[in-house]
Amino acid sequence: MCGTLDLSALPLGCITLIISFTSPRDACRLSLVSTAFNSAAESDAVWGSFLPSQYQALIPSSLSFSSKKQLYLSLCENPLLIEAGRKSFWLERMSGKKCYMLSSRDLSIIGSDPPEYRRWISTRGARFDEVAYIRRFRWFEIRGRISISMLSPMTHYKAYLVCKVRNFCGLQFFPVKLSVGVVGTEGSKRSAYLQPKKERRRWPYWQIGEEQPIPGDDVQFPKARVDGWLEVEMGEFFNEGCVDDGELEMSALEIEGGIVKGDLIFQGIEIRLSTAELDTAWESLLPCQYQDLIPTLDSFSSKKDIYLSLGGNPVRIEGGRKSFWLDRVSGKKCYMLSPRNLSIIRSGPPGYRRWISTRGARFFSLDCHAGWV
């Protein structure tokens, strides 16, 4: 005998408990099922289950939130400084998994350059008050560590070196050696240049003392981030959750060549979920044929970066006659029609109407008062 079960007939507490065992993404979808599901999915009991343990110690007393969901979304959108500002912490929005950035103050940075060529500076767009600025070096070594117990269990992480380059001199010749692994074990290893591939060019051997090597298929190049910095993938690590007393170590070494190289700014090392684990989820939020909307997809490191770019940077479509973007919270499509896309009729001779460019506008504007006194 077959029958049906009306889930909405379950007690509210039962529905709440069931949703609390899902994910933030599932909770948002289940909130659309019915009024009862919406009430349960919006409850503090559900969203409190998605927050990390001891989250109260992370939130400054100056911040207040009307609900656990609002707190959760804030931790996803606004990374918090922890451990006296030496680390940055946030939650991945889809899964609630923990992510971190180790500041340059939290790293071991040594190099061949004299002390006066290394200093701490503040720069726009950085998460931390100070970042490391290294000038004119022959070699450098950067190492960072984080306790495995701070990471989410059963999670595939990748580490990224986040930097800016003020002078590429010498950096295009020799790749940086990168590694990620548990201290005391053999971790993943790879190489990467710090100069973006599109800016790379070959130099004659007499300028560097030897023939410039041709990059292999396994050598990476930095990619631009939405925040304006460059990032280089250092390696990956799967946290099985069965080891809590070890440390994950990330390193970047450039010790070859012996020539003087240009200026670097290091913000830190970011540890976040693997893009392979997240791209499917983020791509589901993107509009169909989104590839046609963005001219340089290869400049983004993940589908999440594409989504965030469309949420913060409107793109012009249809020959520049419309502007398109996504609402960052819901992913809904938004548009602005340019004056060229409108029918504008008014009195006055044609000479009193012209197209002009003006600061802050997304399009060329129609000045209907041109020539009027």
pLDDT confidence of 45, banded at 50, 70, 90? very high
Question: What type of residue sits at position 242?
Answer: C
3-state helix, strand, coil in the chain (%, to 5): 25, 30, 45
In the numeric block, which tokens belong to residue 132?
Answer: 């490391």
Return d(Cα 248, Cα 76) in angstroms, integer.
Answer: 23
Residue 229 pLDDT = 92
Running DSSP on this structure, what letter comes out for residue 224?
E
In the numeric block, which tokens belong to residue 168?
Answer: 């590429």
Return d(Cα 282, Cα 150) in angstroms, integer.
Answer: 25
N-term to C-term CA, the chain: 85
Find where tokens 């992510």 sit.
99
pLDDT at position 261 over 80? no
Across the chain, where does the E strand assignment appear?
80-82, 87-91, 98-103, 108-111, 118-121, 131-134, 140-147, 155-165, 176-182, 188-192, 219-220, 223-224, 230-239, 247-254, 264-273, 315-317, 322-326, 333-337, 354-356, 365-367
In the numeric block, which tokens belong to residue 7?
Answer: 């889930």
Q: With beta carbons less than 8 A apart as the criterion, state whether 12 and 40 touch.
A: yes
Which residues have CB under 8 Å from 256's CB, separation 6+?
139, 174
The 10s digit of each residue's pLDDT in 148-202 is: 999 999 899 999 999 988 776 666 677 889 999 999 888 888 998 887 766 555 5
Residue 81 pLDDT = 94
Which residues have CB under 8 Å from 181's CB, separation 6+?
187, 188, 235, 237, 248, 249
Structural domains of the chain sorted by starting position, each given as residue range(s) with its CATH number in brackets:
10-78 (no CATH), 98-203+214-274 (2.60.120.260), 279-341 (no CATH)
Name the residue among 72, 235, 42, 213 with its Cα closest to residue 144.
235
Centre a 10 Å sphere on the Cβ of residue 248 and count the other Cβ atoms it contains: 22
Q: With beta carbons less than 8 A apart as the criterion, state whether 100 and 81 touch.
A: no
The 10s digit of each residue's pLDDT in 316-351 is: 888 788 888 888 766 788 888 888 888 777 666 666
pTM across the whole model: 0.70
